Amino acid sequence: MRILQIHPFLRGDRIDPRAGGKSRAALLLTEYLLDQGHEVALYPFPERLWLQPAMFGLRSGSRLPVLPTMALPGARHMLGAACRASRVAGQIREDRAFQVSLFYIEGFRRALADFSPDIIHSHQRLTLLPLILGEMRRRPPVVFTHHTGEPGERLDTYEHVVFVSRALQDLVCASTGLARKRTSVIYYPIDAAFLEAPLVPSAERRGLVFVGGLTEAKGADLLLSAYHLDPELNAHALHLCGAGEREPELREYAKRHGLNVVFEGRLTVAELRTVLAHSRALVNPSRLEGFSIALLEALACGTPVVGWAAQVRELEHGWEIPVGVPFDGRTQSAGELADAICGLLNGPSQSDAARATIAAHARRDFTLQRYGEENLCLYRQVLERRAVG
């Protein structure tokens, strides 16, 4: 099978292996597809790449083409591309909307012509992309993985929409009218490093950990406020693993209030696994999530969580075991967060037996093998539906 994958933030993930959950999941899927003998090319929209295809190297040693995203139409295609670009430009707010649309449309047309994919799998939700896809005649079917906690737009462009949680599937189908029969749920995989390491006993664990961008959405400010409100928490070193625009403000706040916080910055997979495995709990008080990979990685290390409420409840419902404390940073306060952390630290999930049970479930359910097989099965179903009309 020939699969064109539209990846988000390709350069960021190339430089930084912690560039974001959807970027990591997309690249893991790419590795799996190549290992299974399929042909894969990357189209890194919305990066503005010109000229000839480049080659992208994965950790496994595999290499695959990265196709240019922009091109100038030749005389033969100029009129048609200009008409399509005019329609797209009228629906977006962007500087030089016509020129940008024109170059993207021609770039995508050439990508389809040069690679001839059987199916397209997009991991990018930017509004411009479905508009461009809608202008492509005789294109192959497109599968879209909906990674974020927001409803999204123009989902009817895609033959099939994959959600990363049942809660997100319910939300989007109810709010947009998207037909449920055109959707499915495929849970994320996590890196093998989190599935294979021995569990660290509770007696050897210290402190708490936060994993994610230091941004408004991820709620690190709520966590520092909780530490300030409850002095008992300061006995547990807090490791903030990530970076973002709010880092200077958070550093100043932690210093001003004498908080026991360690700013770890961005970590490699191996470094993050070590921190998660030696922590008593992960605390990610997000204000918006799709399905946090950091929570899954923590659970695979036997580390219970305070995190995105819908995700914690969904996991507990499916596994019928407690995995932590649900928390919603949109509606709950720093004081409630402090109470949730203290309750978790003094609860039964801190036992070695509870950690082993949590880890066993996560290591069984979030493998790359399962994720890859479910996506390949979906590709075949979508192609069969297209074939029968």
Instruction: Please list the rounded mean pLDDT of every run of 10 residues in the chain (389 residues).
Output: 82 45 83 95 90 80 90 93 94 89 95 96 88 91 90 89 95 92 96 92 97 93 97 96 94 97 93 96 94 95 97 97 97 97 95 97 97 97 90
Q: What is the reported pLDDT for 9?
A: 52
Q: Is the pTM of this model over 0.85?
A: yes
Q: What is the reported pLDDT for 313?
A: 97
Q: Which domains does the chain have, with CATH numbers?
A: 2-189+367-387 (3.40.50.2000), 193-365 (3.40.50.2000)
Q: Annotate 132-147 with three-state secondary structure.
A: HHHCCCCCCCEEEEEC
* 379 close to 1: Cβ distance less than 8 angstroms: yes
* 21 close to 292: Cβ distance less than 8 angstroms: yes
Q: What is the pLDDT of residues 210-240, one digit of tens each?
A: 999 999 999 999 999 999 999 999 999 999 9
Instruction: State the DSSP H helix or E strand holding residue 344, giving kind and residue range, or none if neither.
Output: helix 334-345
As a whole number of angstroms, the distance between CA 270 and CA 367 comes to 17
Distance of CA 25 to the CA centre of its chain: 6
Q: What is the reported pLDDT for 379?
A: 98
Instruction: State the DSSP H helix or E strand holding residue 306, giving kind and residue range, or none if neither.
Output: strand 305-308
Contacts of 174 (CB under 8 A, 6+ apart): none
Q: What is the reported pLDDT for 10?
A: 53
Q: What is the pLDDT of residues 57-98, one digit of tens each?
A: 877 788 889 999 999 999 999 999 999 999 999 988 888 999
As a whole number of angstroms, the distance between CA 282 and CA 258 comes to 21
